[in-house]
Amino acid sequence: MSTTSSELHGTSRITIHSGRLEEFKRLAARCVDIVRHQDTGTIEYNLFLNEEGTECFVHERYRDSAAGLEHMQNIAEVSSLLSEVCTMTGEVCGEPSPGLRQALEAAGVTVYSPLASSRVTDG
């Protein structure tokens, strides 16, 4: 039996410009604060920093396309500031709505559509 999900998964890979780590950390904390207090459909938003403090990996999950669009709108101002302290690339896995797909592509985010999947279960 095949089921489709409206949930979207995203990743961002971030290279922090030399000497900008502390500023990056402040802006990343603002993003987390926005997710906690403004986003209504973000399921998961985790940031991971490498040992050298030069790269960050972000793992994101959204309930649906509306939640993804809401998140993009909520962090737009901070994203603009981040572009001054780091270089970002992003990927989204799932089936975004046409409106979200357009916004993602305009932001340079690569969209990967479902091809095949399997769920591992215990027992």
Q: pLDDT by residue (tens digit) across 94-111? A: 999 999 999 999 999 999
Average pLDDT for 79-105: 97
Options 3.30.70.100, 3.40.50.970, 3.40.250.10, 3.40.50.300; which CATH number does 8-112 get? 3.30.70.100
pLDDT reading at 4 higher than 60: no
DSSP reduced 3-state for 56: strand
Spatial separation of the C-alpha atoms in residues 44 and 35, rounded to whole Å: 9
Decide: 91 and 112 in contact? Cβ < 8 Å: yes
Tokens of 73: 């709108």
51: left (phi over 0), alpha (psi -120 to 50) or beta: alpha
Grade residue 61 by pLDDT with cuts at 50, 70 and 90: very high
| 60-85 mean pLDDT | 97
Q: What is the mean pLDDT of residues 53-66?
A: 98
| Between residues 98 and 121, the one the model is more confident about | 98
* Per-residue pLDDT reduced to its tens digit, 6-52: 999 999 999 999 999 999 999 999 999 999 999 999 999 999 999 99
Structure tokens at 94: 């799932």
How many angstroms separate the CA atoms of 43 and 52, rounded?
28
Q: Which band of pLDDT confidence, cut at 50, 70 and 90, is reported for residue 2?
A: very low
Q: Where are the domains of the chain?
A: 8-112
Predicted local distance difference test score (pLDDT) of residue 104: 96
